[in-house]
Structure 1
């Protein structure tokens, strides 16, 4: 892990660039999958499942028997841990419910908004070497709280055609409507277009590899909403002299083990801390079961030593990290300067893992610099805001003339006339 000390200011912007995977031909490959699923439906899904997951499936829908079996396979201590996380996530997202008030903008003109749940949502949950059952909590809990009528979930099967039992248990716990054994771009296609077995949805949420991400991007162009643009996961740690090098190294590696294209950055003004953290990273790295993955991510990461804390914050805001950790005994001094970040962890005990699992905040967050203009998943991700207005006779009299003048100035006489006919009727009464 390289240490970069006080680089030239002109080079800082280049340090915010993420790792780029070789994605030559990615769009064409994914578009081919989407088109085939749209045309051939379940047949295409089964063909791709055989090709990519190495298993031939009789059926795509997870049965009730499989759900019961899965619940019996999950240890009680893990069930309790999941329920604790569910409770905290529910509390935090319940706090996001707000009552919209009616606003009288002018006498006789009342305007307001109403939150309405997205009726059908699809959740994508990666399987593979890291089955992300925690993401089911992050997506399923607010979806249920919002009142979504249909919540379907797609996740890839293993070589035996089974789904990880913890994924099935958690999905049942949060109230997922149907679970399908489908992974990759083909799962996104199925949820976007629908097949004989899988219903189409109005919005797709959840993380995935570059094929899943590209598929979400492409179906969005077809009118299916997605949660946000996405890229590899990332963390940036701002640490001062009160930070614990062991803690910081652990936080960097907890991000690095997500994938070889993940990025974990440390920004500090303390050169000794920087050196200590780099040593500790190597020490802890050797103990990790996912060492090979984390090692590749660390090779694409770095430590940045700058002159003062203002410069540290400035760089962080340019980078716009998915996760921002303030490793300090006085983290509050940084809060006012943070403008671009997905989720912020304040203090030496606020590790990213807390937010990933059980503190209550959502871990589905903008990556790849999109924290500059996107928020993480919240209750609002599962609702639409519909505006209402009610205009009375008094109201139309108060704003009618202004509307007529504005419509006429835009050359839209029919718009003007919609006001004029009403005002004439009022005047003739």
Structure 2
């Protein structure tokens, strides 16, 4: 990791990669084919990209059989994680509200769960049961009735047992072996086998991200997620080998993942740099992690902690670890981060799997204006207006005037028609 001393006026430059023209055109072609040819197109692309041609529908028997292929210990871990995540998200639940004015009008907001949601779970060469939990649980808490899960098949044409168990534990029975842009298209537009949904959530590769972007507007999506990222704000009070381990926990995700340390101590920066190099050699995914660190690993050394906090806010990271003395006292100064981990025992892995908060987070600096996936993402809100006769008569003239201010005569007349009719009734 390269160490860079930065000045007070240092500005972060970010470039957001939304794919090449070739990738965009490929995704458009896949979506078009799925819209035209449905299941046959999905099966063809699955064969082309995943090398298998399975029955896309996961049966109840397959879901049940998954339990016998995974150690019972993991069953319990998944169940405990579910309870923690559910408890956290239940606190986010919003309900409808109404109030009455003195003039007799009733105003309010009606909160309604989405009818259906599609959850994309990355797969193929890896298994992510945590993605199942983090996407499905807030939807369940919100009251979504139909939840569809899609995931790329493995080389044997199935899905990972851990993913199937996570789905079964949450009561998700509509599961399909399909991935990539073709799965996003199937969720958005439907096929002979799978009915379309109202919203699509869950992370994926660049083709999945581009497909989500392409179908947005026809359905809702959670976000366009980029490569995973971590920023660690540290003052040397937490050991260098622990900080290095945290940085590498992101680097092993993807060669595009970024791991950044921000510290006011040059001596500590050098300690962490040495530890990263040392620990890299022993990682099972060292080839991926090494490329990530080489291309996207940075250590920024500032003059003081205040400047370090400024750098953090500029970065607006997906994951932020605050590994300093009295870390909670700095919380008020942190403005932009998807998830904030405070103190030595709050390593990012705790949040990824078990603590309760959602790990689907804004990336690429979008934490400046975006939030983690939450229960509200699976609800919609309707404004309620029940205007009283008294309020109408008192305000109709003002409303008509406002309409004419905007040059919308028909709007004004819609108000005045009722006022005239009401006057006729009173004669």
User: Residue 102 in 1 paired to residue 101 in 2?
Assistant: no
Residue of structure 1 aligned with 2:45, choices 39, 48, 58? 48
Q: Which whole-Å CA distance do the structure 2 matches of 1:288 and 1:123 have between them?
A: 31
Alignment of 1:324-343 (within 5 A): 324-343=320-339
Q: Report SS of the residue matched to 1:102.
A: strand
Residue of structure 2 aligned with 1:294, choices 289, 296, 319? 289
Q: Report SS of the residue matched to 1:25.
A: helix
Shift in alpha-carbon separation, 1:22–1:411, aligned structure 2, 3 A: closer
Q: Report SS of the residue matched to 2:333.
A: coil
Residue of structure 1 aligned with 2:114, choices 115, 118, 127? 118
Alignment of 1:202-213 (within 5 A): 202-213=198-209
1:281: which partner in 2? 276
2:9: which partner in 1? 9
User: Residue 251 in 1 paired to residue 246 in 2?
Assistant: yes
Q: Which whole-Å CA distance do the structure 1 matches of 2:173 and 2:5 have between them?
A: 53
User: Residue 263 in 1 paired to residue 262 in 2?
Assistant: no
Q: Which whole-Å CA distance do the structure 2 matches of 1:246 and 1:272 have between them?
A: 14
Structure 2 unpaired stretches of 5+: none
Q: Given the two structures, how large is their TM-score scaled by the length of structure 1?
A: 0.95
1:293-344 Cα shifts (integer Å, max 9, x gaps): 1111111211000112222121111111011110123112321121111111
User: Residue 178 in 1 paired to residue 177 in 2?
Assistant: no
1:155: which partner in 2? 151
Shift in alpha-carbon separation, 1:198–1:100, aligned structure 2, 3 A: closer
1:350: which partner in 2? 346
1:84-143 Cα shifts (integer Å, max 9, x gaps): 110011001101123343234663332111211110110000013331110100011111
Q: Given the two structures, how large is their TM-score scaled by the length of structure 2?
A: 0.96
Contact 1:126/1:132, CA 8 A, preserved across alignment: yes
Aligned-residue offset at 1:422: 2.3
Q: Which whole-Å CA distance do the structure 1 matches of 2:173 and 2:113 have between them?
A: 15
Instruction: Please give the root-mean-square deviation of Cα atoms over the aligned residues, in Å.
Output: 1.6
Q: Report SS of the residue matched to 1:326.
A: strand
Contact 1:106/1:398, CA 8 A, preserved across alignment: no
Aligned-residue offset at 1:191: 0.6
1:246-278 Cα shifts (integer Å, max 9, x gaps): 221111111111100000100010111111111
Contact 1:393/1:426, CA 8 A, preserved across alignment: no
Aligned-residue offset at 1:189: 0.8
Residue of structure 1 aligned with 2:357, choices 349, 356, 361? 361
1:331-381 Cα shifts (integer Å, max 9, x gaps): 123211211111111111111111100100000011111111111100011
2:133: which partner in 1? 137
Shift in alpha-carbon separation, 1:324–1:314, aligned structure 2, 3 A: same
